[in-house]
Amino acid sequence: MIGDASAARRLVVLRHGETDSNAAGVWQGQLDHELSARGHAQARAAARALIPLRPVRVVSSDLRRAQVTGQDVAAACGVPITTDARLREIHAGAWQGMTGDQVREQYPEDAERLLTGEDFRRGGDGETVAEVAERARALVEEVLAAMEPGECVVLATHGVTGRTLAADLVGLDQQQAWLALGGLRNCHWVLLEEGRSGWRIVEWNAGAPAETIESDGVTA
């Protein structure tokens, strides 16, 4: 699609489909997990729902759960896909592979800091939200430099990275975003649109209708 010079550019920040670890409440971070059967159905439904936005390309995290989700979108929309490690999920250090209950039991002070939106190094030797914002924004600036007026690009990523990136693009304080914006659900997305004063959030936690996921044989 050739961009319409009179139209705004748009970005879709899409979280990947569900994995078994998501369902079990496990901190995945940068562990590389496959989509579950439900996750695959979610990805196919999201892909169909994003066709009307007419994306021109998909850029995905190189972790499998996001990459496969992005591949479904690219196939449904008939556009190319590339991968980039800068869209990976936050590295959660020692928390990776632990359930939320285990983190609260073994790291009670950090679990409390997390609830208040404080930024700190996850799991002792993982990343901070600020570091995630820096690496993801660098990738997005490259994407934006190649976008024409009126074009839409899908960024297939992860929950923390997606929220962090969206907040950074609209200039929202990361602690405020952590407290005020609900976490992105599996295969839900943020639609951002560029205006005269910068980027704004048009839709938050948008997703495919539940019945379209059920039609693939998985209860929504």
Q: Is 194 part of the annotated catalytic residue set?
A: no
Of the residues 18, 40, 89, 91, which is catalytic? 89
82-104 burial, b at 16+ Cβ within 10 Å, e below that, comes to ebbebbbbbbbbbbbebeeeebe
First and final C-alpha spacing in the chain: 33
Q: Return d(Cα 168, Cα 55) in angstroms, integer.
A: 22
Q: Return d(Cα 210, Cα 213) in angstroms, integer.
A: 5
CA distances 216 to 40, 52, 116, 183, 219, Å, are: 9, 20, 39, 25, 9
The conformation of residue 127, written as its DSSP 8-state character, comes to: -
Q: Is 16 part of the annotated catalytic residue set?
A: yes
Q: Tell me how many degrees the CA angle 15-20-25 measures, rounded to the nearest 5.
A: 80
CA distances 136 to 24, 59, 132, 156, Å, are: 27, 12, 6, 12
Residues in Cβ contact with 217 at an 8 Å cutoff, skipping those fewer than 6 apart: 41
User: Which residues does the annotation mark as catalytic?
Assistant: 16, 89
